[in-house]
Amino acid sequence: MDMSVVRVVVTLLFTVCHAWAQPRLNTVSTTITQTSGYSAVLNCQVYDLGDAQVIWLGPMGMPLTFGRKRITTDKRISVEQPYSVDWNLHIRHVKPSDAGEYICKVDTSPPQTKRVNLKIKVAPSINHALSTKNPLSVEEGENVTLVCKVSALPAASVMWFYYHPQRPNNREQPNFPASVTGELLTIHDISKEQAGIYECLAFNGVPPTAVKNITVNVEFKPIISSTNKKIRQLRGKDTILECNIKAYPPEIAIWKKGNMEIKEGERDWKYYPTLFKNSESEFVLGLQIYSLEADDFGNYTCVASNQHGTASVQVLVEELVVKPSTTTSTTTTRGTTTVTTPTSTSTSTIPMTSSVSNKTLSSIRTTPNQIKSTTTQKGVIIDDGDSSKGDKDPGYNVLTTPAVYPISPAEQDPRNRGNCLNWKLSGLAALVLLLIIM
Ligand SMILES: *[C@@H]1O[C@H](CO)[C@@H](O)[C@H](O)[C@H]1NC(C)=O
Ligand SMILES: *[C@@H]1O[C@H](CO)[C@@H](O)[C@H](O)[C@H]1NC(C)=O
Ligand SMILES: *[C@@H]1O[C@H](CO)[C@@H](O)[C@H](O)[C@H]1NC(C)=O
Ligand SMILES: *[C@@H]1O[C@H](CO)[C@@H](O)[C@H](O)[C@H]1NC(C)=O
């Protein structure tokens, strides 16, 4: 047979087949959801395309591809054909603005179309510029609103947590009156106890969760608490004064004798001031006075101040005179009083003085060990300072515990004098009672 005849027959057959087989498009609409940043594949399958063309249109009816050619300038877009019937539209690194309805169209008459709805998810993110700056300093009594500006798709829910400075590993729900309206947390009349880290946490089902910490510093005027008003000691002995200071920001903490400021290192044969930092806003200011002489008895003042005000408390150091008539039995001390020489070579520098008033106390760190090692066993005599109680019994304790000790009001109660056990037992009883009530 002539080869040219065969060729003509085959060509004819093809032409006839083509004329019979119209392109067929799967026109079922679909919806696909993709996370921002990833690639989206929009499916379109066409059988028997023949000479027809597949066209992809974007959300605004904008033509994106014609056949295998990209006609938009957006280089993220292409048509991929894993199989010859596939005319899939690929969009790389999708973004929220890519969302919308895409149309796969075959230019037959009438044209056939398939719609693909593209949805974009976005993991939450916090816009720090539009959120509360961190850290935030406020004054006690202010109304504080914390803002965590979140963007997410779909919208995220925002939760707030609180970390108390003394329980930094304990994520808590703010349990004080605070109103939460999504991105806002409002604290009315903030108190110093409400200082801490506020954490906002946003999630919308698209990982990862977004988190922001806002450290809220609450500033307040210094407060001096639980300090003995009067101390008695024998001439020639040493003594220790202490005052508990709360202040934020901490600026000045100093002992004064009359108008004289007792500066660290200035008269170190006589005075040894110490500062122990319990927290960012709580301090114990101590003063050791060595070998009491006549001049050393009198009033000492603990002064604490910052930009919000000043607080001061007086402590009277009185000479203890042991009357021979009241026999040694009444003045028996529990424990011995040992006097150690101060290690005034201590390297800790403690700015106690106005000369370093601009330096915050937070920059100093005196460890409890340092204090204990230099202040053991000073034979401090504590009195509640209430002279109306009469002179019938000196009623004092010679403390043999380390110098830095918490002074509870109960220990100063005359009924509990000399009986630390009573005090502990009553504390225990109160605790048990509390547990029963709860
Ligand atoms: C705090 O808010 C309360 C109630 O909205 C208002 O009465 C009070 O004046 C506000 N306090 C300050 C310091 O703005
Ligand atoms: C927020 O602060 C808490 C408590 O210090 C800490 O455990 C957490 O990891 C912090 N979160 C961030 C995102 O820094
Ligand atoms: C100490 O201060 C108190 C109270 O201000 C005062 O009554 C007392 O006279 C002062 N004592 C001495 C010895 O200065
Ligand atoms: C105190 O510190 C502030 C900022 O920390 C500074 O602007 C100011 O000049 C300082 N004042 C003195 C007296 O050093």
Q: Closest by alpha carbon to 332, among 322, 319, 341, 317?
A: 322
* Among candidate residues 319, 348, 373, the one where a domain is terminated: 319
Task: Reply yes or no on whether the pLDDT at 365 is more than 80.
Answer: no
What is the whole-number distance in angstroms between the Cα of residue 143 and the centre of ligand 1?
6
> Do 232 and 270 share a domain, yes or no?
yes
> Do 309 and 280 share a domain, yes or no?
yes
> Do 239 and 176 share a domain, yes or no?
no
What is the whole-number distance in angstroms between the Cα of residue 52 and the centre of ligand 2?
60
Segment among 1-15, 55-69, 187-201, 238-252 with least mean pLDDT = 1-15
Q: Name the CA dihedral angle for 352, 358, 360, 364, rounded to a multiple of 10 degrees.
A: -50
Q: What range does the domain containing 234 cover?
A: 226-319
Residue nearest to atom 4 of ligand 2 (CA): 168
> Do 86 and 56 share a domain, yes or no?
yes
What is the distance between the alpha carbons of residues 438 and 431, in angstroms, rounded to a whole number?
A: 11
- Does the beta carbon of 145 sit less than 6 angstroms from any atom of ligand 2? no
For a mutational test of ligand 2's pocket, the pick from 131, 198, 199, i.e. the residue with the most ligand atoms closer than 8 A to its C-beta, is 199
- Does the beta carbon of 179 sit less than 6 angstroms from any atom of ligand 1? no
- The pLDDT value recorded for residue 6 is 65
| 275-289 mean pLDDT | 93
- The pLDDT value recorded for residue 3 is 65
352 pLDDT tier (thresholds 50, 70, 90)? very low
Residue nearest to atom 13 of ligand 3 (CA): 298
How far does CA 387 lie from the centroid of its chain?
A: 47
- The pLDDT value recorded for residue 86 is 96
What is the distance between the alpha carbons of residues 342 and 240, in angstroms, rounded to a whole number?
A: 12
User: Which of the residue ranges 5-9, 74-78, 321-325 has the most confident prediction, judged by mean pLDDT?
Assistant: 74-78
Contact 94, 39 (CB under 8 A): yes
What is the distance between the alpha carbons of residues 272 and 268, in angstroms, rounded to a whole number?
A: 6
- Does the beta carbon of 165 sit less than 6 angstroms from any atom of ligand 3? no
Residue nearest to atom 5 of ligand 2 (CA): 168
> Do 66 and 140 share a domain, yes or no?
no
Contact 141, 190 (CB under 8 A): yes
**Cis (ω within 30 of 0) for the bond into 110?**
yes
What is the whole-number distance in angstroms between the Cα of residue 288 and the centre of ligand 2?
40
> Which of the pair, 30 or 346, is modelled with greater confidence?
30
- Does the beta carbon of 316 sit less than 6 angstroms from any atom of ligand 3? yes
pTM for this predicted structure: 0.63
For a mutational test of ligand 2's pocket, the pick from 213, 214, 215, i.e. the residue with the most ligand atoms closer than 8 A to its C-beta, is 213
Classify each residue of 266-284 as buried b or exposed e, where b means 16 or more C-beta atoms within 10 Å of its C-beta.
Answer: eeeebbbbbbbbeebbbbb
With a pLDDT cut of 90, the percent of the chain lying above it is 58
- Does the beta carbon of 385 sit less than 6 angstroms from any atom of ligand 3? no
Q: Closest by alpha carbon to 136, among 89, 207, 198?
A: 198
Average of per-residue pLDDT values in the chain? 78
Residue where the block lists tokens 């994106």: 64
Task: Reply yes or no on whether the pLDDT at 379 is more than 60.
Answer: no
- The pLDDT value recorded for residue 69 is 95
The answer to whether position 289 is within a domain reads yes
What is the distance between the alpha carbons of residues 135 and 193, in angstroms, rounded to a whole number?
A: 17
What is the distance between the alpha carbons of residues 98 and 369, in angstroms, rounded to a whole number?
A: 64
Q: Would you list the DSSP string of 280-331? A: SSEEEEEEEE-S--GGG-EEEEEEEEETTEEEEEEEEEEE----GGGHHHHT
* Among candidate residues 172, 190, 220, the one where a domain is terminated: 220
The answer to whether position 384 is within a domain reads no
Task: Reply yes or no on whether the pLDDT at 332 is more than 90.
Answer: no
* Distance linking the first and last C-alpha atoms of the chain: 108
Contact 264, 353 (CB under 8 A): yes
- Does the beta carbon of 298 sit less than 6 angstroms from any atom of ligand 3? yes
11 pLDDT tier (thresholds 50, 70, 90)? low
Task: Reply yes or no on whether the pLDDT at 355 is more than 80.
Answer: no
What is the distance between the alpha carbons of residues 263 and 350, in angstroms, rounded to a whole number?
A: 9
What is the distance between the alpha carbons of residues 63 and 55, in angstroms, rounded to a whole number?
A: 7
The answer to whether position 370 is within a domain reads no
CA angle 15, 21, 25 (to 5 degrees): 135
- The pLDDT value recorded for residue 344 is 36
Residue 95 neighbours by CB distance under 10 Å: 12
What is the whole-number distance in angstroms between the Cα of residue 189 and the centre of ligand 1?
7
For a mutational test of ligand 2's pocket, the pick from 197, 198, 280, i.e. the residue with the most ligand atoms closer than 8 A to its C-beta, is 197
Task: Reply yes or no on whether the pLDDT at 275 is more than 80.
Answer: yes
What is the whole-number distance in angstroms between the Cα of residue 359 and the centre of ligand 4?
9
Segment among 211-225, 284-298, 361-375 with least mean pLDDT = 361-375
> Do 248 and 272 share a domain, yes or no?
yes
The answer to whether position 145 is within a domain reads yes
Half-sphere exposure for 182 (CA within 13 Å, toward CB): 9
163 pLDDT tier (thresholds 50, 70, 90)? very high
- Does the beta carbon of 161 sit less than 6 angstroms from any atom of ligand 2? no
Q: What is the pLDDT of residues 34-53, one digit of tens each?
A: 999 999 999 999 999 999 99
The answer to whether position 389 is within a domain reads no
What is the whole-number distance in angstroms between the Cα of residue 22 and the centre of ligand 3?
112
140 alpha carbon, closest ligand: 1
- Does the beta carbon of 168 sit less than 6 angstroms from any atom of ligand 2? yes
Residue nearest to atom 13 of ligand 1 (CA): 142
What is the whole-number distance in angstroms between the Cα of residue 196 and the centre of ligand 2?
11
Contact 95, 120 (CB under 8 A): yes
For a mutational test of ligand 3's pocket, the pick from 227, 316, 317, 319, i.e. the residue with the most ligand atoms closer than 8 A to its C-beta, is 316
Q: Could you tell me the two tokens for 112?
A: 């056939």
| 16-35 mean pLDDT | 82
Contact 54, 87 (CB under 8 A): yes
What is the distance between the alpha carbons of residues 281 and 248, in angstroms, rounded to a whole number?
A: 5
> Do 208 and 263 share a domain, yes or no?
no
* Among candidate residues 96, 122, 148, the one where a domain is terminated: 122
> Do 183 and 241 share a domain, yes or no?
no
The answer to whether position 436 is within a domain reads no
Q: Where does residue 101 rank: exposed (0-12), middle (13-18), buried (19+ CB within 10 A)?
A: middle
Q: Could you tell me the two tokens for 239?
A: 């003594």
- The pLDDT value recorded for residue 354 is 33
> Do 108 and 131 share a domain, yes or no?
no
Q: What is the pLDDT of residues 252-261, one digit of tens each?
A: 999 999 899 9
- The pLDDT value recorded for residue 395 is 32
- The pLDDT value recorded for residue 9 is 60
Total of domains in the chain:
3
The answer to whether position 394 is within a domain reads no
> Which of the pair, 98 or 433, is modelled with greater confidence?
98
Residue nearest to atom 8 of ligand 1 (CA): 143
CA angle 378, 384, 388 (to 5 degrees): 135
Task: Reply yes or no on whether the pLDDT at 360 is more than 90.
Answer: no
Pairing of strands 46-47, 100-106: unpaired
405 torsion bin: left (phi>0), alpha (psi -120 to 50), beta (else): beta
> Do 207 and 243 share a domain, yes or no?
no
- The pLDDT value recorded for residue 146 is 95
Residue 210 belongs to domain with CATH number: 2.60.40.10
What is the distance between the alpha carbons of residues 119 and 142, in angstroms, rounded to a whole number?
A: 44
Task: Reply yes or no on whether the pLDDT at 328 is more than 50.
Answer: no
Contact 295, 306 (CB under 8 A): no
> Do 115 and 132 share a domain, yes or no?
no
| 262-277 mean pLDDT | 90
Atom number in ligand 3 closest to CA 316: 1
What is the distance between the alpha carbons of residues 236 and 173, in angstroms, rounded to a whole number?
A: 55
Atom number in ligand 2 closest to CA 197: 2
> Do 64 and 92 share a domain, yes or no?
yes
- Does the beta carbon of 197 sit less than 6 angstroms from any atom of ligand 2? yes
| 133-142 mean pLDDT | 96
- Does the beta carbon of 143 sit less than 6 angstroms from any atom of ligand 1? yes
What is the whole-number distance in angstroms between the Cα of residue 145 and the centre of ligand 1?
12
The answer to whether position 375 is within a domain reads no
